Structure 1
Amino acid sequence: MTLAPLLDAPFAVQLHVATVIPAAILGALLLARPKGTRWHRLLGKIWIALMVVTACSTFFIHEIKLVGDFSPIHLLSIYVLFGSRQAIAAARRHDIAAHRGHVARMYLGGIVVAGLFTLLPGRLMHASLFSGLSNWQAAATAAALAALLIAATVLAIRHGRLFGVGKSSKRLA
């Protein structure tokens, strides 16, 4: 592992990584912990802010150009911006099922799925995380990380922590 590729990257990439890593950790913590507490609300506001900055930073990153300077990942960034607004609005009107759905989709799409794509060969995070490893070792490590993220997500869904499955999604008064 080396930070050299990240330290040599443009500022927008550094900002993106500096906000997405804490958003990933904080988001997992928020999904796993009890909801509706004062800590949940405070940390949730911080998470939303991190996600918005992360999404905004992508508009200054143009490494993959499919449509002009943009790629499909920019569509996800647009969703995160609109999803953040929707998640906040749902929480304010106490529509917990809608809030949970928006947040879960932002986390799964914006953190888990997008994060897995950063582990592909040729990408900056692959170069940072897997430098010095053989292709086989890098692939095995990436597969283990992917399996861990997928297993954690499946467990969260099965225990009703995402999407309200297994628990009542009552509207709080």
Structure 2
Amino acid sequence: MHTPTTFLQLSPAIQLHLVAAVAALVLGPIALRAGKGSAMHRGAGYAWAALMLAAAASSLFIHDFGRPNIAGYTPIHLLTLATFAGVAAGIVLAIRRRVGAHRRTMWNTYLGGCVGAGLFALLPGRFLHGLFQHALGGL
């Protein structure tokens, strides 16, 4: 089987997942650091939540049968469930004006769903590690 080495060779689900995840990784700190209730916070927050949901939803169409799995879903897919739950809880907490809980939930979702998942995906032996290694010329 041929392993894709460029973005355009990836499946549409993986393309969407990568774009949404990278955009969420970049936009997250803007949403998290913008002034509470400001237009920047709300706009960046809504966009970040949508990107996180897109990344989580697209991950449901990414399967890995080369690792221990259940129907192609590997342990990293547990982060999909955590992301759905974290984003939903964060939105509900904001609506209920539970600012402290909203802040903690969104920070935890960012750290786990963006930073943690990203670091896990870059481990040697993972597809993204190989893609980056190829892009960097085998460094």
Q: What's the TM-score, normalizing by structure 2?
A: 0.85
Q: Which amino acid aligns with 1:22?
A: A
User: Partners in 2 of 1:32 and 1:39 — Cα distance?
Assistant: 10
User: Partners in 2 of 1:7 and 1:112 — Cα distance?
Assistant: 24
Q: 2:138 matched to 1:133?
A: yes
Please give the per-residue CA displacement for 1:31-83, whole angstroms capped at 9, x wherever unaligned: 23333211101110111011011101111001245223211222211121122
Q: Which amino acid aligns with 1:97?
A: G
Q: Which amino acid aligns with 1:36?
A: G
Please give the per-residue CA displacement for 1:11-45, whole angstroms capped at 9, x wherever unaligned: 11111001111100000222233332111011101
Q: Would you say the 8 A contact 1:5–1:127 is kept in 2?
A: no
Runs of 4+ in 1 over 3 A off after TM superposition: none
Q: Secondary structure at the match of 1:34?
A: coil
1:6-155 equivalence runs, <5 A: 6-63=7-64, 64-131=67-134, 132-134=137-139
Unaligned runs of 5+ in 1: 135-173
* Paired-residue identity, %: 39
* Cα RMSD for the two superposed structures: 1.8
Higher relative contact order (CA 8 A, sep 6+): 1
Larger radius of gyration: 1
Q: What's the TM-score, normalizing by structure 1?
A: 0.70
Q: Secondary structure at the match of 1:130?
A: helix
